[in-house]
Amino acid sequence: MLNIEYELSLLDSGYACLGAIDEAGRGPLAGPVVAACVVIDSDFKLVKELEDVKDSKKLSEKKREALFDFINSEFSGVGIGICGHQTVDRINILQASFLAMKKAIGALKRKPEMIILDGKFPIPNLSLKQEPIIKGDARIFSIAAASIIAKVTRDRLMRKYHTQHPLYGFDQHKGY
């Protein structure tokens, strides 16, 4: 189980709320890139239902689906940003990932004071303080929670695309 020590230390240092971001869809050959931002504040309590949160790639589809609703209900905010394949083709996958992350932040009702995100690079042209964390989805609880939201959202989109284009089998491989 991942703990929330890192997030609590940032909150103790003076931030009222943090945003944690991850994306799904940078590796596939088809479909959108989806980013999720979850907001964690000093009122956050780690409930039993969230004890299994970890990197979405290390969870079964059934477990990710079960955690999805708990994450949405227990975090003080969840934002989702999506960039479709046309945007990916036009600006490249990395830039589309950054754009999806900005959209996820923009979808939040309460804006975080600081962003922690999975990866090596900060989001360009973002006025919020940021800390990119390599393998953050495997190390940081709230980034792992964001990874689950992003992955479940993208998988649901790919299942929808399967009904429109069944020949491609998106319900089985999700474009990977």
Q: What is the pLDDT of residues 67-115, one digit of tens each?
A: 999 999 999 999 999 999 999 999 999 999 999 999 999 999 999 999 9
Q: How many CA atoms lie within 13 A of 78 on its CB side?
A: 19
Total-model pTM: 0.96
Per-residue CA distances from 125 to 27, 105, 122 (Å): 24, 13, 9
Q: Which fold has domain 5-173?
A: Nucleotidyltransferase; domain 5 (3.30.420)
Q: What stretches in the chain show pLDDT beneath 50?
A: none
* Domain boundaries, given as residue ranges, for the chain: 5-173
Phi-psi region of 5 (alpha: psi -120 to 50; beta: other; left: phi over 0): alpha
